Chains A and B, each alone.
Chain A
Amino acid sequence: MKPIAHLIATVASVAFATSVIAAPAPATNEAPDVLVKRISADVIDTVKSDKDIQAGNRNKIMDLVNSKILPYVDADKMTAQAAGRFWRQATPEQKKRLSEEFRTLLVYTYSGALSTIKNETVEFKPMRSSPGDTDVEVRSQVNVSRGEPITLNYRLAKDDGGWKIYDINVLGAWLVETYKGTFTAEINKSGIDGLINRLAERNKQLASKPLNTPKK
């Protein structure tokens, strides 16, 4: 409930400070592994306890993803890396659209994955990093009822807004690397706009598809 003037003064001084000092002051001091653990626990607890989500309410799951996970994901960086050398050739408008469509696709996919959670638990491994690192990997595994545990690792990079996730590894495969092949092939075939349209089409398809829920 700060008065507006105070708020403006604070923002201005922060902006001034960050423009003068080479190293920007981070908005949050949360360590990357603490951050991931927190989001992870939060999301899983919500999924397990919310009846609507358990019943397959896609919108609710997507709201959850958008509000609790997306703020900590650097979708632009993910898109840039998946696009590889083509990113430099894209216009700002194309970059924006590509980033949006890719982000939407990831939200749909992640929501689909979340909807299958029944009673799995997540175990975090100790993070190996030095204090000054700006690029770390947080490792965890999902303990499932049958078979070997599913490895789930995250790569985070530190920027002005704190730590952000820019890549995810499931069962040994990094998301960005896996999409890279598809992006490259599609761009070679029909250009960046072709890729954007393809993603948009897929997102429309997913929007109308009913969610698969675990059968009890």
Chain B
Amino acid sequence: MKSNKMSTLPRLSGLALAVAACAVLSGCATSANPQDPFEKFNRASFAFNDTVDRVALKPVATGYKNVTPGFVQTGVGNFFGNLSDAWSAVNNLLQGKGEAGMTDVTRVALNSTFGILGLLDIASEAGLQKHNEDFGQTLGYWGVPSGPFLMLPLLGPSTVRDTSALPADRWGDPWKYKDPHNWRNIGSGIRVIDQRAALLDASNLLEEAALDRYEFLRDGYLQRRQSQVYDGNVPRAAAEDDGDEAPTSSSQVVPLPASPAPAEPAAAETPAKTQ
């Protein structure tokens, strides 16, 4: 029942890796930003993605969002959400999160049967929370650092660790095994459009809020990714190690409020303490 490797996505991620490797080797490490050594490549990639998005993906996604009846969109979202729950379950279990993993297994079981092949998300209504785990997060959980930011052509923002985890994610994607390949490609296309439609509001917000969209996206994405690895509970120390210029980040590091005024009278009153 295995596919005959007609899926283009593994090829695409392989291509992306090859391009990234070439760009690195051709010496683009002269970027001003030490946290973004591949910045030149990343920005070029971003510009490319942006064009594709503006010309093709966003108009289609906007049309999809405005024209398709709500229940159809929900059904599509639920269907692919159900498929991703299966891989989330595996990753939760790989991270030792037994309860979360079993919740995901139950979600898939419930939604696939009573939820009519995943079209209805009755598990959420039953109180089973949805998780969003992938192999990159599993690696991160076990201590693999994220590595520098990578903007992949077509695939979007990522990190070196998460890019290397892509093949595993593709392998764990149930839709990859769908025969015949026409259905699979159509389904993959619909999934991409559906995901883009879900992000329309967020991307409009990005346009307004960001002075430099690439930087905003990169910095926001890196934080979000770390938050995902820690499931929302990023230890404050870890958050600061991950990208501050080391000696000068005094305004961010200290848990005290950054107001020197109360400290000064205190220091004046108790000079003895400093000895």
Q: Does B223 contact A (CB under 8 A)?
A: yes
Q: Which residues on the B side are within 8 Å of A176 (C-beta)?
A: 252
Judged by a CB distance under 8 angstroms, whether B72 is at the interface is no
Task: Name which residue of chain B comes closest to A185, CB basis.
Answer: B215
Contacts of A177 in B (CB 8 A): 219, 223, 239, 243, 252
- Chain A nearest CB from B180 CB (Å) reads 29
Alpha-carbon gap, A186 to B130, bound state (A)? 39
Q: Which residue of A lies closest to B265 (CB)?
A: A22
A145 to B259, CA, bound (A): 41
Chain A hits for B256, CB < 8 A: 134-135
* Number of inter-chain CB pairs below 8 Å: 112
Closest residue of chain B to A184 (Cβ to Cβ) is B245
Asked if B241 is an interface residue, CB under 8 A from chain A, the answer is: no
Residue of A nearest to B234 (CB): A172
- What A residues does B113 contact at CB under 8 A? none
Cα A203 to Cα B245 in complex, Å, equals: 29
B204 CB contact (under 8 Å) in A148, A159, A212: A212
| Most-contacted residue by chain B among A108, A148, A177, A209 (CB, 10 A) | A177
- Of the four ranges (under 10, 10 to 19, 20 to 34, 35 or more), the interface on chain A belongs to 35 or more
Task: Determine whether the beta carbon of B252 is less than 8 Å from that of A81.
Answer: yes
Asked whether, in the complex, the Cβ of A159 is within 8 Å of the Cβ of B259, the reply is: yes
In the bound complex, how far is the Cα of B228 from the Cα of A84, in angstroms?
26
Q: Are A172 and B205 in contact (CB under 8 A)?
A: no
A–B Cβ pairs within 8 angstroms, 17 of them: A77-B257, A84-B251, A105-B209, A116-B201, A146-B74, A147-B77, A171-B227, A172-B223, A172-B234, A173-B220, A173-B223, A173-B227, A177-B252, A181-B215, A182-B215, A185-B212, A212-B201
Chain B residues within 8 Å of A, Cβ to Cβ: 32-33, 66, 73-74, 77, 81, 130-132, 198, 201, 204-205, 208-212, 215-216, 218-221, 223-228, 232, 234, 239, 243, 245, 248-252, 255-259, 262, 265-266
Within 8 A of B (CB), among A52-81: 77, 80-81
Chain A residues positioned under 8 Å from B239 (CB to CB): 174, 177
Query: Is the CB–CB distance between A181 and B218 below 8 Å?
Result: yes
> Is A173's CB under 8 angstroms from B211's CB?
no
**Chain B residue, CB-CB nearest to A201:** B211
Determine the residue in chain B with the shortest Cβ distance to A174. B223
Q: How far is B224's CA from A185's CA once the two chains are assembled, in angstroms?
A: 21
The answer to whether A113 touches B218, judged by C-beta atoms less than 8 angstroms apart, is: no
Q: How far is the CA of A53 from the CA of B95 in the complex (A)?
A: 45
A86-102: CB near B (< 8 Å → 1, else 0) gives 01000000000000000
Given contacts A84-B248, A84-B252, contact A178 B198 (CB under 8 A): no
Given contacts A105-B209, A157-B257, A202-B211, contact A81 B251 (CB under 8 A): yes
- Given A147-B77, A202-B211, is A135 in contact with B257 using a C-beta cutoff of 8 Å? yes
Contacts of B218 in A (CB 8 A): 181
**CA of A209 to CA of B256, assembled, Å:** 39
- Which B-chain residue is minimally distant from A23 (CB atoms)? B262
- Closest Cβ of chain A to B254, distance in Å, is 9
Would you call B132 and A145 a contact (CB within 8 A)? no
**CB-nearest residue of chain A relative to B209?**
A109
* A178 and B216 contacting across the interface, CB-CB below 8 Å: yes
Q: Is A180 an interface residue (CB 8 A)?
A: yes
A186 and B265 contacting across the interface, CB-CB below 8 Å: no
Q: How far is the CA of A179 from the CA of B218 in the complex (A)?
A: 11
Residues from 139 to 163 in A contacting B, C-beta threshold 8 Å: 139, 145-148, 151, 157-159
Instruction: Indicate with 1 or 0, residue by residue over A162-201, a CB within 8 angstroms of chain B CB atoms.
Output: 0000000001111011111110011010000000001100
B255 touches A135 (CB 8 A): yes
Distance A180 CA – B252 CA, assembled complex (angstroms): 10
A151 touching B232 in the complex, CB below 8 Å, given contacts A22-B265, A182-B210, A212-B204 = yes
Q: Which residues of A contact B225 (CB under 8 A)?
A: 172
Task: Find out whether the CB atom of B258 lies under 8 angstroms from the CB atom of A81.
Answer: yes
